[in-house]
Structure 1
Amino acid sequence: MNNQADLALIFPGSGSQYKGMMRSLYESSRIVQDTLHEADEILGFELSRLMMLGSTVKLNRIGHMLPAICAASVAHYRLYREQGGPLPAYMAGHSLGEYSALICSGALSFKDGLLLVSYRARLAEEVMEATGGAMSIMKSVDPARVASLCLELQAEGRKVSIACLNSRSQIAVSGQDAALAELEQRVAEASAHAQISYLIGSAPYHCSLMQPRAAEMAEELSKYSWSLPGCQLLSNVTGRPYTSIQEMQALLPQQLHKPVLWQESILHLLENGARTFIEMGPQNILKTLMPEISDETRVYAHDEKLDRMTIRDLFIAASVSSVLRPKAEPGPSAADSRLKAIGMCLTHAMTTRNYNQADASDMPSLQLYTQVKQLKQELDQGGVPLGEEHVAQALSMLQAVFEDKRTPDNERQLRWQQIKEKTGVERQVEVKAVARRETE
């Protein structure tokens, strides 16, 4: 791992719990033991015993599940730091995971964060019982099409909506049970490849059913002590870093009823230089999801023994090399900026919306994208020397993608501007953009 500037820690949400979670780490690590016992004292019951020895039915209850995932995530983070893991440049958490990130970034104490998680779980249980609300996961779907189907049902008086935008083809939906069942049927009819999983015992997070409880959440948040996080910490509601304590207190109540912009959060991190991601929490759900967002990353799950060994070895190697290596001049080199520009071109090409009726797999620019992607891999491995022509090739590819996808001018300009701001290749971007227009 080069340095902490490219590092993001990500924290999972509901569904990452499993029977026996944390047992092996508890038996081998004093800091994990201390963290879980601290959670027991904060909550007033033996959460640690439930996590390691309790039944799946008990662990899946919202009032147990959410504190368990949060406590496990904090334990993973503390173990990671004890074993030499550096502080990251970024943190982001998925739904519940945002509270784990708040704790680990220093914005909240472990006690305050865990109490807030427990309070949030109680609100959700009450809403679930009162409304019959729940959630479903949908894979291999078109999020825009599902959003349209939700609007149709809402027009019929049904309460159902997209709760989490996880990737290009995976979402979560929330709403009343009957509305969810109808949505699932319509999605299945619209897409033969859709994979739909109803989450038994889940609460209707991130939809309008939770909105009446937002004021109560805001009042509860005001009772605790807050600090600015020690790194950039992303909000689920905006997909962007928090800028103040006031913003955290304003957006967290909205997180109850607004969708989680997970894919947008990860893309923001990629555009700002994050390339190494470590999932801090039980299982590897976010690690598994990452390839559906980008393949330009290294992703590890701290709950996986092999990944923990790899992470530790990387940090030891980085620590040794930093002692032996002469001190480098600060700031990115021109080569680093050019390589980053190529990476950003690939990211923008992949993530810009297709406004064309044609299938993206049939577009002529796909071949250019494949060529630049292969080039980037060779450059990363040192297989070819980096030159200005490689940047020009990436910029031309991105312009061709914009043309094929019929990207609106304002979106093109915004994406060009992001490349300029992050890499300093302003003159190159302007020349390529103008040259393309002159030939139209």
Structure 2
Amino acid sequence: MNRETPDAVLFNPQVVVEPGDHRDFYDEFPEVRRRMAEASDVLGVDLAARFYAEDPAAINDGTVVRPASVAIAVAICDVIGLRERPPRYMAGLSLGSIVAAHLGGFMSFRDTIRMVSTMPAVEDRVVAGRPLGVAFYYNVDLDRFQAEMREVSTAESPLLTCAITADNQMIATGAVAGLQELNLRAASIGGVGLVIPYGPPAHSPLPVLYDIKETFAREWSYLDPTSDPQVPQLCNHTGAVIDRREDLMAAFVEQYTRTVRWDLVVRRLADLGVKQVTVVGPGHFVYRSMQFVDVSYQVQTVLTCAELRSAAE
């Protein structure tokens, strides 16, 4: 990362994982094995064994895929020496915002792993038995598509915007049947829609998400001290810069019922003078979405083993 200009490091959301994905990181880099082992100790399970298993549904259970993804992302940053050369800003999309908060100095690795395991456990408990999910839409005119979404949505089965990820991309959340109908609407206007496998409802004012938010707020507590972040964070749902621990604490609760505006985060970084960004894996979502926001950056990616080797040199 070039220290002559302001820079930022960005982290990916939870993405669907197929058996064998990211195994190369684990096999090649001791830092990944170490972080997986630390996460396993926190959770009291063999996280690597669960994450590198053969059953896609088990791998993509939130209590597995989220802490494993966090462990890999943090290990990648260990390898590239991010703590020794911190950027000016950090941000992440959904799960990535929690990774950013840890690496920015807000909370311990132990509490980070606990948080990303507690969240899906609460979500699963509250949502159990309800046919709710999320779907990704791209190559759509957002205003027109959201009008289509309002037509499909009903009071009994609302569909709401979960995240706006780029100028022509968004994620919707709500009843799976409604999302499937919305997929057809997307195709009719030249777009593409895909219900995301294993995806829970998220980031919107769905009534069930208020229940999840209240339950999480009531049950969650930090075991280790928290601090004002040493690296300022960008808020997922406002794009605002956060440099106080109290604001980060509130953001992780409020994000349940607030639409993620990743497009605002990407533009806000440019407003702050950022010209170079590093996108850290696992996953390619953030890098790909940035290509559809009308802001230009010099982008370094650390998404593969080859890129990690190069970045570590």
Q: Same fold (TM over 0.5)?
A: yes
Shift of 1:56: 2.6
Shift of 1:239: 1.4
* 1:168-226 alpha-carbon deviations (Å, 9 max, x no partner): 0011110012222232233333x0x2111111221011121312221222234444432
Distance 1:23 1:157 in 2: 42
Which residue of 2 is the match for residue 131 of structure 1? 130
How does 1:331-370 map onto structure 2 within 5 Å? none
Q: Is the 8 A contact 1:17 1:282 kept in 2?
A: no
Alpha carbons of structure 1 residues 266 and 220: separation in structure 2 relative to 1, 3 Å:
farther
Distance 2:283 2:221 in 1: 32
Size of the aligned set, in residue pairs, is 310
* Secondary structure at 2:66 match in 1: helix
Q: Is the 8 A contact 1:22 1:51 kept in 2?
A: no
Distance 2:235 2:71 in 1: 20
Which residue of 2 is the match for residue 201 of structure 1? 198
Which residue of 1 is the match for residue 167 of structure 2? 168
Task: Supply the RMSD in Å over aligned alpha carbons.
Answer: 2.2
Does structure 1 residue 231 correspond to structure 2 residue 194? no
* 1:377-428 alpha-carbon deviations (Å, 9 max, x no partner): xxxxxxxxxxxxxxxxxxxxxxxxxxxxxxxxxxxxxxxxxxxxxxxxxxxx
Does structure 1 residue 142 correspond to structure 2 residue 174? no
* Secondary structure at 1:292 match in 2: coil
Which residue of 1 is the match for residue 299 of structure 2? 299
Q: Is the 8 A contact 1:4 1:87 kept in 2?
A: no
Which residue of 1 is the match for residue 119 of structure 2? 120
Alpha carbons of structure 1 residues 153 and 71: separation in structure 2 relative to 1, 3 Å:
same
Q: Is the 8 A contact 1:85 1:312 kept in 2?
A: no
Q: Percent identity?
A: 22
* 1:262-309 alpha-carbon deviations (Å, 9 max, x no partner): 010011011112222222221322112211114621223313234334
* Secondary structure at 1:230 match in 2: coil
Return 5+ residue gaps in structure 2 as ranges.
none
Distance 1:188 1:97 in 2: 30
Alpha carbons of structure 1 residues 210 and 265: separation in structure 2 relative to 1, 3 Å:
same
How does 1:30-41 map onto structure 2 within 5 Å? 30-41=30-41
Alpha carbons of structure 1 residues 75 and 21: separation in structure 2 relative to 1, 3 Å:
farther
Alpha carbons of structure 1 residues 119 and 196: separation in structure 2 relative to 1, 3 Å:
same
Larger radius of gyration: 1
How does 1:361-440 map onto structure 2 within 5 Å? none
Shift of 1:147: 2.2
Amino acid at match of 1:115: R
Q: Is the 8 A contact 1:128 1:134 kept in 2?
A: no
Amino acid at match of 1:244: R
Shift of 1:29: 2.6
Distance 1:145 1:165 in 2: 14
Amino acid at match of 1:131: R
Q: Indicate the structure whose relative CO is greater, using CA pairs within 8 Å and at least 6 residues apart.
A: 2
Which residue of 1 is the match for residue 247 of structure 2? 247
Distance 1:4 1:159 in 2: 48
* 1:357-378 alpha-carbon deviations (Å, 9 max, x no partner): xxxxxxxxxxxxxxxxxxxxxx
* Secondary structure at 1:166 match in 2: strand
Q: Is the 8 A contact 2:231 2:243 kept in 1?
A: no
Alpha carbons of structure 1 residues 222 and 26: separation in structure 2 relative to 1, 3 Å:
closer
Amino acid at match of 2:194: S
Amino acid at match of 2:300: Y
Q: Is the 8 A contact 2:283 2:303 kept in 1?
A: yes
Distance 1:281 1:140 in 2: 24
* Secondary structure at 1:236 match in 2: coil
Alpha carbons of structure 1 residues 154 and 94: separation in structure 2 relative to 1, 3 Å:
same
Shift of 1:89: 0.7
* Secondary structure at 2:81 match in 1: helix
Q: Is the 8 A contact 2:237 2:262 kept in 1?
A: no
Shift of 1:73: 1.1
Distance 1:236 1:216 in 2: 21
Shift of 1:243: 3.6
Q: Indicate the structure with greater helix content.
A: 1
* Secondary structure at 2:69 match in 1: helix
Amino acid at match of 1:271: D
Shift of 1:31: 2.2
How does 1:21-32 map onto structure 2 within 5 Å? 21-32=21-32
How does 1:47-58 map onto structure 2 within 5 Å? 47-58=47-58
